Structure 1
Amino acid sequence: MKRGVYTIFIASTIILLSTPLMPFLSGNGGKDAEQADWINDPLFEMIQPSKKGILTFKEQEEMLPLLAEMGIKTIYLTPIWKYKPGTPLSRYYILDYYEIDPAKGTEEDFKHFVETAHSYGIKVILDLVTAHTGPGRYIYENHKDWILRDKYGNLVYCWPHKSWGYAVDRANPEVINYFTKIAKYYVEEFGIDGWRVDAIGTQYCNESIPDCPQPVEGEHHSKYLLESIKSALGEDKALYLEWAYLGRLYLYNAGVEEEDGCPCPNPIPCSMSLPELNEYADASYSYEFGKCFMRDVIMGKVTSEDFVEFFKEECLYYGKPRGRFLMTHDFGYQFYESNPQLHKIGAVLITTVPGFPHIYHREIFPDGDISSINHEMFSLYKELLDIREKYRAIKQSTIENVWKGGDNIIAYLRKCEDEKIVVAVNFQGREMRSILKIPFRKGDVLYDVLNRESIVVDDPDNFELTLHPYEAKILVAEDNESPEVHIEKPKEGYLHIFNKALLPMGKTFIIGNITIVANAVDESGIDKVEFYVDDKLKATDDKSPYEWLWNEFAIGNHEIKAVAYDNSGNEAEDKMNVLIFNWM
């Protein structure tokens, strides 16, 4: 009894003595401040119209549980503001950024939509349209001096898309200030998480372009606009660019040509393009892949070597990821609606290649509203996004060709450290027999996580694989070994005060809160780590570093435990006995 009282006395004394140091010792008790790398997770492009009319925020809110179940982490909403119907731009003919379309609901409805999305762990970004203006729109009616003028003093139409209206001068400091205030307003007032930035490339030409209808003098690109917005919003808010380059004007001058709306060469090599826009963004579209390269893939014109080479030649300036899509509100839906086999096989590609999947609204809701659900595509995407989440090699690794001979299929390796995944895809309407060279050993058993089948490797240098028409396989090595897990924090045998290990004591002694940190590794990848106190589950973390802030009232001796599960279902645990005094 005396020993117990003495221990509590010592602990209390240490607490009192350390009180002036509490701000220094406490830290943030958890993970570092969030960066906008969350944009690298699956994104859903949510449109406003349905066959029954304009979707309200309340109707869109009903979609959130389904999207969360599917694995969506970010929703990008196309323009939600009052617009001028009957124009070629439709909802992109925004009249006023401070007036939400009344057909969608009220500002409170929108705020509730954002809050509900956040409750499901889903971020929300809006659509910032800065490139063009016209009659009835704020800039045209109030600030014609913000519109570009050609060398003759005339208002400049967008080039090469004259139907978009007049081109806004996005290098004008007043324009920069105007759009920066808008971007910041919706973050502060409604809690949105960032912006998709529409048509960010230049919308004018100059005398260097043959037959330029309205030559503009000087440079008027969007670099400084993006810099201003990003600086105002902060690092945890994302900017997702529709275009990664300064614009057609700069690409043409660099020698990039255009054929059927696609750049030539494709992808545009680093030596021919300009990286400035990506510097102030967090991700960008990949029209070059979804709209252009995929046409050749579907037609069988691309070898597996060509396919992999696309990603190796593609410039990811500043390490910023690219959104991979089959379709957007601008193109593609009608084609894939008429070719569902290609739609399904294409979904496998955009969820397993470098970058992040960008899934279009009507892929899941064909008529726009929740009454029409494409259950087949929902189930497929749910499975694919679950696979993507489980295997870090799909999200963070290199890509290598593994096709060696036989029929032309797309076959590639995604590898991250010891984790290896082979993806094989057949876009043809006939059976394909191919030979792959794969980095496994003879006798290894590969498991097709997509079709739930096992295959024994007989000759890894000449691995024979047969794919049925429009079939895909995602192959991983079967794993029967348990993962490795070790509790790294608290440090065993040390005194910890407010989340800091101070000095060895022989016994693990904790004063105040503590972040329990576990290191878990496995060749097949870690699915999750569970944290227990006295065999009671307290938290689950599925992302490295695996940690949990133990910040609840606890006094006395307790057992903490971390249980790690790998992607094959194997598990392992590590335990530690601690003496804790936490009055919080």
Structure 2
Amino acid sequence: MKTLYGMALATALLAVGCKSSTSNNNTTGKAEDAKTATIVDGIPDFMLQGNIYEVNVRQYTPEGTFNAFAKHLPRLKEMGVQTLWFMPINPISVKDRKGVLGSYYAVQDYKGINPEFGNLDDWKSLVNKAHEMGFKVMIDWVANHTGADNKWLETNKDFFVLDSVTKEPVFAFDWSDTRDLNYDNPTLVDSMISAMKFWVTETNIDGFRCDVAGEVPDAFWNKAIKALKEVKPDIVMLAEGDKPSLINAGFQISYPWNMYHVTKEIASGKKDASYMDTALQQVYKNMPKDAYQLWFTSNHDENSWNKADYETMPGKIHAPFAVLTQTLPLGIPLIYSGQEEPYLDSISFFYKNTINFKEYNRAPFYKVLLELRKTNPALAANVPAETIQLGNPKQVYAFVRKKDDHEVLVITNLSNKTAAVNFKGSKISGEWTNVFSKMNEKLTDSTINLESYGFRVYSK
């Protein structure tokens, strides 16, 4: 049966309709060589069945360089990765640096390259090679704050929030290696937009993941994104934040933090599977109709500080939640560096901590899901889901997604006990292909026992 979640999705998408517009060719700088995409339901069409892979350059190889990472492009392409998001590639401030190497998010120069990684030519070569292989490329952008010795501190002190007594730049939270920017200054606004446009026009990137986007005024994002779209109309904008106003300001994708925390609670046994629909409906209720979510089981923050996903979703517990990140509607799935191994440790922020790639044990699992998402139109981000009850709702979470003659059926057991899955009396009928076993199965009037934290994904 269709739950309120399913009805809410269907209603929202009907309201959106299928508004499409074809972008004109880029005419500014080197970005003019890029072929622009069609915008469908508020997002470039290549993202509708796309995915994002987060690249931690420093920790990815023993060398920690762009050139060394480039050697991994063929295997990532084979796995099905589409969009590469690189954590900040800018030089890191030395003053007040944390640890030996400092945080990527303490930017010294917005138009510079971190010499750890190589130089600008190395970066351009990597972007060009990625594009030739069919990848899209995004970079992390830190607009909320700079590093403690950013060049603007010498040339434009008025770009920063100043202490009312000392008149010195301040920092927020415990981010002592940073200094907060003052967006009441229109010259700062223009300077930041100019820096963002530099990476699009000079290196032809396809988008930005914007750090702590909710701490930066919406008015800035509105102006910046409009300016970026004048350069590259189909630019992808991902906000680290869950404020609805970020979508109104021009972002297409945001972070569903509450939903992620609910999945962690289900994985730990603090909540059961019946909370899935409630949490999902809350996400869609609060966000504008054109909002897409970044579904993930780990990212650099959650891995480094909260031990995701090797402790938050350890062992086989990870699998059904990873399946959901790849198959839930109105979202784009994320895979973090090392998850395909899996690398079962936290990856350091401030020190060299090379990921030990060796077996790639999860790569076949991800490849099946990424290939399904790419080839089955039912998994396009703008296609709604119909939740169905096939067993104990405290254990089993299942849904169907349909697009024309294409269907995908997802069944997950989000509990530590075997669950009975009963198709008798359900709308599920006929023969389906199990996407992992490649076997055809007739599900009509059948019952299966699904192991703890098990899953089944079927397609038609």
**The TM-score by the shorter chain falls in which range?**
0.7 to 0.9
2:12 paired residue number: none
Q: Structure 1 residues 451, 220: closer, same or farther in 2, change over 3 A?
A: closer
Match of 1:87 among 98, 120, 137: 98
Normalized against structure 1, the TM-score is what?
Answer: 0.62
Following the alignment from structure 1 to structure 2, what is the Cα–Cα distance between the partners of residues 345 and 359? 14
Following the alignment from structure 2 to structure 1, what is the Cα–Cα distance between the partners of residues 113 and 36? 35
* Counterpart check, 1:282 vs 2:252: yes
Following the alignment from structure 1 to structure 2, what is the Cα–Cα distance between the partners of residues 156 and 426? 51
* Counterpart check, 1:306 vs 2:270: no
2:23 paired residue number: none
Match of 1:322 among 263, 287, 293: 293
Match of 1:200 among 210, 213, 235: 213
Following the alignment from structure 2 to structure 1, what is the Cα–Cα distance between the partners of residues 173 and 277? 32
Q: CA deviation at 1:397?
A: 1.8
Following the alignment from structure 2 to structure 1, what is the Cα–Cα distance between the partners of residues 415 and 196? 45
User: Contact 2:58–2:116 at 8 Å: present in 1 too?
Assistant: no
For 1:488-527, what aligned pairs fall within 5 Å after superposition?
524=460
Normalized against structure 2, the TM-score is what?
Answer: 0.77
* Counterpart check, 1:450 vs 2:436: yes
2:81 paired residue number: 72
User: Contact 1:114–1:124 at 8 Å: present in 2 too?
Assistant: yes
Q: Deviations over 1:96-125 (max 9, x none)?
A: 122212221121111110010001100111
User: Contact 1:170–1:221 at 8 Å: present in 2 too?
Assistant: no
1:13 paired residue number: none
1:361 paired residue number: 337
For 1:132-147, what aligned pairs fall within 5 Å after superposition?
132-147=145-160
2:181 paired residue number: 168
Following the alignment from structure 2 to structure 1, what is the Cα–Cα distance between the partners of residues 239 and 169? 23
Following the alignment from structure 1 to structure 2, what is the Cα–Cα distance between the partners of residues 104 and 126? 14
1:421 paired residue number: 408
Following the alignment from structure 1 to structure 2, what is the Cα–Cα distance between the partners of residues 130 and 440? 48
Q: CA deviation at 1:299?
A: 2.9
| Greater Cα radius of gyration, structure 1 or 2 | 1
Following the alignment from structure 1 to structure 2, what is the Cα–Cα distance between the partners of residues 155 and 38? 45
Following the alignment from structure 1 to structure 2, what is the Cα–Cα distance between the partners of residues 309 and 417? 28
Match of 2:46 among 38, 45, 70: 38
> Aligned pair count?
398
2:140 paired residue number: 127
* Counterpart check, 1:226 vs 2:199: no
Q: CA deviation at 1:310?
A: 2.9
* Counterpart check, 1:466 vs 2:449: yes
Match of 2:310 among 331, 337, 340: 337
1:497 paired residue number: none
Q: CA deviation at 1:374?
A: 4.4
Q: Give 3-state SS (helix, strand or coil) of 1:376's partner.
A: coil
Following the alignment from structure 1 to structure 2, what is the Cα–Cα distance between the partners of residues 435 and 421? 17
Q: Structure 1 residues 123, 323: closer, same or farther in 2, change over 3 A?
A: same
Following the alignment from structure 2 to structure 1, what is the Cα–Cα distance between the partners of residues 60 and 69? 14
User: Contact 1:202–1:222 at 8 Å: present in 2 too?
Assistant: no
Q: Structure 1 residues 278, 332: closer, same or farther in 2, change over 3 A?
A: farther
Q: Structure 1 residues 196, 335: closer, same or farther in 2, change over 3 A?
A: closer
Q: CA deviation at 1:343?
A: 2.4
Q: Identity of paired residues, percent?
A: 23
Match of 2:265 among 282, 296, 306: 296
Q: Give 3-state SS (helix, strand or coil) of 1:430's partner.
A: coil
User: Contact 2:239–2:246 at 8 Å: present in 1 too?
Assistant: no
Q: Structure 1 residues 349, 468: closer, same or farther in 2, change over 3 A?
A: same
User: Contact 1:435–1:465 at 8 Å: present in 2 too?
Assistant: yes
Q: Structure 1 residues 155, 109: closer, same or farther in 2, change over 3 A?
A: same
Q: CA deviation at 1:223?
A: 3.7
Higher strand share: 1
Q: Deviations over 1:463-498 (max 9, x none)?
A: 63311133210123xxxxxxxxxxxxxxxxxxxxxx
* Counterpart check, 1:411 vs 2:398: yes
Gaps of 5+ in 2: 1-34, 348-352
Q: Structure 1 residues 392, 310: closer, same or farther in 2, change over 3 A?
A: farther
Q: Give 3-state SS (helix, strand or coil) of 1:102's partner.
A: coil
Q: Give 3-state SS (helix, strand or coil) of 1:90's partner.
A: coil
Q: Give 3-state SS (helix, strand or coil) of 1:115's partner.
A: helix
2:200 paired residue number: 187
1:486 paired residue number: none
Following the alignment from structure 1 to structure 2, what is the Cα–Cα distance between the partners of residues 352 and 136? 43
Q: Structure 1 residues 397, 302: closer, same or farther in 2, change over 3 A?
A: farther
Structure 2 residue identity aligned to 1:466: N
Q: Structure 1 residues 398, 438: closer, same or farther in 2, change over 3 A?
A: farther
